[in-house]
Amino acid sequence: MSTAPRAKGPRKQRDHIMAAKPSGRRSEVYKSVVLEFARTLHEDALAGKAGGGGREVTELLDCYLMDLASIAVTDDNRSDGVVRPGEIAKVYNRYRSLLLGDLATTDPLRELFPAEKTMMNVLGDYSGMGFTVAGAVIGSAASNLMSRLGFGGSRST
């Protein structure tokens, strides 16, 4: 999706990069899991169950789309995204378009989709991640959180 050159060296986590390839099997599985989770949250909200709701669905979809866009643009070197927010916004919006195109026009998830991203939205997301990471450094889960966000040490899968 990105036209930017890939960083030199080995790919960080090939399975992550394959999940960001729109026509790939891993991408389809990832998308299916996210949509199933989103529908469950939405159904829980309709049933009045705690933990479900429109905001949670929107945040889940936003997180998923940011994950795909960040992987695609940075080759899973997430910290590089802070200097490429315009590219991430463009790719995010393309993935958003593709996902909306996969849903029926009557699908209730369409109403809960996050808005398109701008470069400033992406910078805000990275800023928010920075505060989250900084807060986690204080707690005992700091290294685990940073690893899951793609900053710091690597995990093999």
Q: Helical H runs in the chain?
A: 14-19, 25-46, 54-74, 85-102, 119-138, 142-149
Q: pLDDT truncated to tens, each residue of the chain (157 aa)?
A: 444 444 454 555 555 556 667 777 888 889 999 999 999 999 988 888 876 678 999 999 999 999 999 988 988 776 777 889 999 999 999 999 999 999 999 999 999 999 999 999 999 888 766 544 444 444 445 455 556 666 655 444 4
CB under 8 Å to 129, separation ≥6 — which residues? 149
For the whole model, what pTM was predicted? 0.72
How high is the pLDDT of residue 155?
46
Q: What one-character DSSP code corresponds to residue 157?
A: -
